[in-house]
Amino acid sequence: MKKFFLLSFVFISFFSFPSNLLAQNLDSPIESPAPEEEALSFKEIWGYVMIGEESCFSNDYPVTDVGYFVSAVSNFSDFRPVPKRSEKFPDFKGRIHIVSSVDSKAQTHLLLDPKLPLRNKIIKQLVKEAKDYDGVQIDWELVMKEDAHNFWNFLKQLKKRLHGKMLTVAIPARTRTLEKDAYNYAELSKIVDRIIVMAYDEHWSTSSPGPIASLAWCKRIADYAKTVIPEDKLVMGCPFYARAWNNESVGQKAYRMYRVDNVIKDVQAKAFKISANGDLSFSFDTTTRVTMFYDTVESSVKRCRSYRENDITRLAFWRVGQENTEFWERLKIEGAD
């Protein structure tokens, strides 16, 4: 669903609580335990697991479906072999779906073109690798609107070749129907068995700081999705991650030559160097303020509760291994003992 890179940096931390309520100062970022309450029940609870992180998953979690994120389609447009289910999830009794992603708009376009052999090739590979699993999930997040019909036809062909195994898609959040949208909820509902709506990244790395999935925003998405996706196909995606922004505007970017003198003056640079080859450089120290929006167990449960109160009966979580494991104690599968 998303890629994350570990960054090491020195910063003054400033945390902001993710909610649609007015901001309030907190003495501690650690909340008090909530009073005992019955676990929230859902018909389906999906958990995404990355290859190499299978040990983060527990059969004790109230999970009905695992989205097994193996790898993106390769640069050679191949879907790499998937480990045997019995090796990675030997005792899990629920369904496991292998997840396919593509990291390039251009490659996505070529894979979907019915006139090229790549489409049939990738369908064959997906069907083959799904043999040991319960289905395939298409998490192709870079489909252009011009490829909408080719995308839908690709899904139809894949569904036909899966011979009864589940076909699901993970798609961006929408609050209304967009014109010429490859991720048109109504059209996709006619083809696939489940639609996972990725209701997160309300604010992104290049946006201004803000919640990843505020309650009000999530409600607008769910309210719209319910009007076009059947109840038994709608799965709302929830985040297990935080996001940070810094106010540093000087580093980690390219500069036009004529602007360098201004930077030197602005930062009052003093440590100038010239190498034996004549390469010029200077260094300076700066203080960065970082704003982080994050979730706790309680705020995550609050989001789940808001979905349940909105008659959403299926949730998916990105991704297992990022969460506080105490969260799983607050959910249960509908009908389970």
pLDDT in tens, 21-51: 345 666 556 565 566 789 999 999 999 999 9
CA atoms within 13 A on the CB side of 281: 7
Helices (H) and strands (E) in the chain, counts: 8, 15
7 pLDDT band (50/70/90 cuts)?
very low
Least confident piece of the model among 129-143, 247-261, 294-308: 247-261
Distance, CA of 185 to CA of 223 (rounded, Å): 13
Which residue in 234, 239, 208, 207 sits closest to 223, CA to CA? 234
| Strand boundaries in 125-247, DSSP class E | 135-139, 166-172, 194-198, 234-239, 243-246
6 pLDDT band (50/70/90 cuts)?
very low
130 pLDDT band (50/70/90 cuts)?
very high
Distance, CA of 217 to CA of 220 (rounded, Å): 5
What's the rounded mean pLDDT across residues 46-67? 99
Distance, CA of 331 to CA of 303 (rounded, Å): 12
Whole-model pTM: value is: 0.89
Mean of pLDDT over the chain: 91
Distance, CA of 64 to CA of 116 (rounded, Å): 37
Mind listing the domains of the chain with CATH numbers?
A: 37-243+295-333 (3.20.20.80)
pLDDT of 26 = 62
Instruction: Check whether the bond before 319 is cis (ω within 30° of 0).
Output: yes
pLDDT of 29 = 61
pLDDT of 114 = 98
pLDDT of 246 = 87
Better-scored residue on pLDDT, 267 or 52: 52
Given a cut of 60, whether residue 333 has pLDDT beyond it is yes
The enclosing H or E element of 228 equals helix 215-228
pLDDT of 34 = 60
pLDDT of 28 = 54
pLDDT of 254 = 81
Distance, CA of 56 to CA of 180 (rounded, Å): 40
Ramachandran region of residue 222, left (φ > 0), alpha (ψ -120 to 50) or beta?
A: alpha
pLDDT in tens, 170-211: 999 999 999 999 999 999 999 999 999 999 999 998 888 999
Given a cut of 50, whether residue 11 has pLDDT beyond it is no
Two tokens, residue 172:
């961006």
Given a cut of 80, whether residue 290 has pLDDT beyond it is yes
Given a cut of 90, whether residue 286 has pLDDT beyond it is no
- The runs of H, that is alpha helices, within 78-214 are 85-88, 105-112, 118-129, 148-161, 185-189
Distance, CA of 167 to CA of 164 (rounded, Å): 9
pLDDT of 251 = 67
Ramachandran region of residue 78, left (φ > 0), alpha (ψ -120 to 50) or beta?
A: beta
CA atoms within 13 A on the CB side of 307: 32
For the chain, give the percent of residues with pLDDT over 90. Answer: 77
Distance, CA of 236 to CA of 175 (rounded, Å): 13
